Structure 1
């Protein structure tokens, strides 16, 4: 199923504003099989993003990050994520986890349209860029154990 988003399409926001939607992507089953960018992600940059508190990953997830004393326990460990999910499945979980679980507390890190309860500073903007999503996917897919 192709998400009806055109690169550069404008979305109406509550209050009359408009937001630029990120590029288009296609959801096939439980995955986004094609990368969001033309370049492969960089696993080292992805790891740095995952352990950076501002990305919020380790606020909920734990994983193989021995240098991080405080890691979340609300969500599954990221250890072995590359063995549990495909690259496309990981990509969909980052882009829009609510497609897999409508009750998830995981934010949509890339999709901006049709969301509720979005903080004022984040309305109409993805939390992560397409490049950052691909970097994190490259890192998570490398975690095999």
Structure 2
């Protein structure tokens, strides 16, 4: 039986939807980069901007200045300015940095947003949502993809 391209695409899409997000322990890094989407879905630029400026989520602006998010208060100066970051790194590199920056930048103070084990002091009050079960990552797979999508819009002009 020969399958049409459309049928084959539908089967592959359904399989991806069933598979769900990549678990933090299953993320494949290559020189600090993560080539495959963690959620299997495209990122949402507007939600990525919200995550970056939300104190309850990524709170990226606590350490980084981002001109595109200038309406959000209290940008930090610990990390580099993120203007033009979409020209400096590709999606895979940004996904890797967000997932676990320590694999790219030894000694960085940037949190690993998609990691749940191997911490020196995990502090369950600060990491994840489960008090008695396995820890959740700081950001979900889709939230990582949303932030990557937003960061890719930050291009030098």
TM-score class, shorter-chain normalisation, is: 0.7 to 0.9
Q: Which of the residues 23, 26, 29 maps onto 1:27? A: 29
Relative to the length of structure 2, the TM-score reads 0.74
Q: Matched residues in 2 for 1:48 and 1:95: separation?
A: 18
What's the CA shift for 1:92? 0.6
Q: Say which structure is richer in strand.
A: 1
Q: CA RMSD in A?
A: 1.7
Q: Matched residues in 2 for 1:101 and 1:29: separation?
A: 11
Q: Does the residue aligned with 1:120 lie in a helix, a strand or coil? A: coil
What's the CA shift for 1:139? 0.4
> Which runs of structure 2 are paired with 1:89-108 in the superposition (5 Å)?
89-108=93-112
Q: Which runs of 5+ in 2 are unaligned?
A: 1-18, 129-134
Q: Which of the residues 57, 62, 77 maps onto 1:59? A: 62
Runs of 4 or more, structure 1, over 4 Å off, are none
Aligned to 1:139: 150
1:129 aligns with 2:131: no
- Bigger radius of gyration among the two: 2
Q: Matched residues in 1 for 2:74 and 2:31: separation?
A: 34
CA spacing shift, 1:35–1:23, aligned 2, 3 Å: farther
Q: Matched residues in 2 for 1:24 and 1:41: separation?
A: 20
Identify the range of structure 1 (120-129 vs 29-38) with the bigger mean alpha-carbon deviation: 120-129
Aligned residues: 126
Q: Which runs of 5+ in 1 are unaligned?
A: 1-6, 8-20
What's the CA shift for 1:53? 2.1
Relative to the length of structure 1, the TM-score reads 0.80
